[in-house]
Amino acid sequence: MSEHQLDKQETRIFSGRSHPALARQIADYLGVPLEKTHSRHFTNDCMEVHLGASVRSRTVLIVQSLVKPVSEHLVELLLMLDIARSAGARAVHAIIPYYAYARSDKKDAPRISITARLVADLLSTAGATHVMTMTLHAPQVHGFFSVPTDVLTARTEFARLFSERDLKKTVVVAPDVGHAKSAARFARMLSLPVVAADKERVSDTEVLISGLFGRQVRGFRQALVYDDEISTGSSVVEVCKELARNGIDKIIPICTHGVFSGRAFERLGAIPQIPELVTTDTVPQRPSRCPVALTIVPVAPLFGKALWLNFTRQSIGGLYVYGQDAPA
């Protein structure tokens, strides 16, 4: 049992349908039962949600990862937030381990929506008084939220995992310059050097890697490719192929959000230098689908501890994603 327990009478935890296992783990960590949530569709396909316990004058936690089907799970989350607010909850916390729309962070084509900002507005409009998530795709997305928002990191847990391994002749690799700072923080925790690839995205499933490595990886035998998310795997696959061409014998991709859509597992498994993938469970994982070893780092303790620190009016700086001096 965790030492970070919340008051069972004052706290209610509910889960949407996207990741009930993670919601239960967070509830268990905090010593609070996971209450029932009832969802159904009417014949016209409209959704109805019913929270199975009174929330009046209580603190409400709603756990929902924005995984496929993303739009369905988003609407369910918005309904749950609205229900809690309308039923008189004292505070409503949206716990979103994977905020999928963080990738829609800028207007890079005419007549498109900056959807990360739109969804942030919808969350506060629906009733969220606080948002907690993990490792946004771009730092500026944090500024899209109009309610207090905490962005956690699994970096410390990844570093703890690899600190117990042989890291001789190992280099940390960022798949693009945009994630070089995050990779550098991870590398610093393990006292390893770091390099960044030069990536140009052609489409959602195709990238070009140019000007990569050469002398930068000469003499290294192992590479830890550190990214925030692997979806189709296009970026990581091209980086790993380039690393292999430059003499790296062992490559381990690491990501916070293991979406692994389409042929991602197949494409990564086809690279013989990759013996293992490392990710968290912000997205539900099915290890049986992965052709190589899949190491899953649990995030429930991170969310549980951050929530407990928040409720007991303590700093969560040590769990915060962008802090330069924080241990995580």
Give Rg (Cα) of the chain. 20
CB 62 within 8 A of CB 94: yes
Q: Which residue has the tokens 């959602």?
A: 204
Parallel, antiparallel or unpaired: strands 222-230 and 149-152:
unpaired
CB 306 within 8 A of CB 152: yes
Q: What residues contact residue 140 under an 8 Å CB cut-off, 6+ apart? A: 105, 106
As a whole number of angstroms, the distance between CA 118 and CA 143 comes to 12
Q: Are 146 and 120 in contact (CB under 8 A)?
A: yes
Residue type present at position 270 = A
DSSP 14: E
Pull the structure tokens for residue 37. 């949530």
Residue 139 contacts by C-beta under 8 Å, 6 or more apart in sequence?
322
Cα distances (angstroms) measured from residue 262 to each of 82, 124, 204, 209: 34, 32, 12, 21
Q: Which candidate in 36, 107, 168, 199 is catalytic?
A: 199
Tell me, yes or no, if 241 is annotated catalytic. Answer: no
Residue type, 250: K
Q: Which residues are catalytic?
A: 199
